[in-house]
Every structure is written in structure tokens, then in C-alpha cells.
Structure 1
Amino acid sequence: MGWVYLLIAGVLECLWAIGLKYSDGFTRFWPSVVTAVLIVVSLGLLSLAMRTIPVGTAYAVWSGIGASALAVVGILFMQEPGGLVRIGCIGMIVLGVAGLKLFGDTAV
């Protein structure tokens, strides 16, 4: 269940980061409220995930999900640059997150 919590927390991290943009520095009331709620729920789910997932792995996966998803959203919907190198870097983040999940329990 920890990985489910972590996945949802990562998606919510992406959403609250978008909310930060629309809150305009917390000067717009409703976008600020929605952003604050998303932050609290995302961190709450992250803390639940950390009951069964090591803290380093959980935090790296949480931030990786948020960073890569937000970069893709920026490219697709916010007119941010999406060159081949940038997309490749996003791919490396995704591979790193997948590696933490796949090889997190093995010792080298």
C-alpha cells in the first residue's frame, strides 16, 4: 500500500506545484487554498508511504514523480521548451525512480 500512497503523493506534488503558479505568490485566494490543501495531502501520503518504504527511497521517488510529471506538463500545456536533450533528462529521472523501485530491496 505504501507504493500506492507514494504514487498518489507524487501526482499531488505535481498538482500543487502547478497551483503555486496560479496562486500568484499566494495573492489569489482560491488557488492558494487549493494549493495548501494539496500540499498537506501530498505530504500526509508521503509520510504514510514512509511507514513501509525507506525514507531516502520514498523522498527520491516522490520528488522524481513530481519533477518529471511537472516537466512533461510544462512542455505539453505551458509552452515550455521540449527539446530532445530535455526529454532525455526527464527520461533519466524516470529511469532512476524505476530503478529505486525495482532494486530498492537488493544489496550490492
Structure 2
Amino acid sequence: MAWFTLLLAGLLEIGWAVGLKYTNGFTRLTPSLLSAGAMILSVLLLGHAVRSLPLGTAYAVWTGIGTIGSVVLGILLFAEPVSAMRLGCVGLIVAGVAGLKIIG
């Protein structure tokens, strides 16, 4: 259950990171409130997950999910650049997160 909670926390991290783009520097109310809500819920779920998962592993997986999701959605939604090096680096993050899950 802790891994599922951590996954939800990571997905919410993606949500608030992408949501920041829509807040226009926190000048738009609805996206700002949704992003802030996702931030709070993400951290609360992370806090719940670390009750039974190692802190370092949980935090690395949480940030890894957020990083990977933000890069992918940045490419898909905002036409951010795609290059072999960039995708290779994302692949390294995926490998690291998977490795921590396997040994954690």
C-alpha cells in the first residue's frame, strides 16, 4: 500500500509541476489553487508513504516520478525539445527509480 501511496504522491507532483505553467506566475486563480492543492496533497501522501518506506528511497522515487512525468508532459504539451541526450537522461532516471524499487 505504501508504494501505491507513493505513486499517487508522484502523480500529484507531476500535476502541480505542470500546473505551474498554467498559473502564469500565480496570477490565475483556478490553476494556482489546483497547483497548490496538488502540492499539499502530494507532500502529505509522501509523508504517509515514508512511515513504512525508507526515506531516501521514497524521496528519490517521488522526485523521479515527478521529473519523468514533467519532462514527458513538457514535450507533449509545451513542445519542449526532444533529443537523444535528453531522452537518454530520462532513461537513466527511470533505471534509477526502478532499481530503488527493486532493492527497496
Q: Tell me whether the two structures share a fold, i.e. TM-score over 0.5.
A: yes
1:88 maps to 88
Alpha-carbon separation, structure 2, partners of 1:43 and 1:75: 25
Aligned length: 104
Alpha-carbon separation, structure 1, partners of 2:3 and 2:101: 9
Identity of aligned residues (%): 54
Report if the CA contact (8 A) 2:18-2:73 is conserved. no
2:21 maps to 21
The superposition leaves residues 23-79 of structure 1 with CA deviations (integer Å, 9 ceiling, x where unpaired) of 111111111111111011111110110011111111100000000111011112210
1:103 maps to 103
Superposition pairs for residues 10-89 of structure 1, below 5 Å? 10-89=10-89
Shift of the alpha carbon at 1:19?
1.0
1:9 maps to 9
Gaps of 5+ in 2: none
Shift of the alpha carbon at 1:16?
0.3
- What is the root-mean-square deviation in Å for CA atoms of aligned residues? 0.7
Scaled by the length of structure 1, the TM-score of the pair is 0.93
Alpha-carbon separation, structure 1, partners of 2:76 and 2:91: 15
3-state SS in 1 of match to 2:53: coil
Point out the more displaced range, 19-28 or 55-64. Answer: 19-28
Q: Could you say which structure has the higher helix fraction?
A: 2
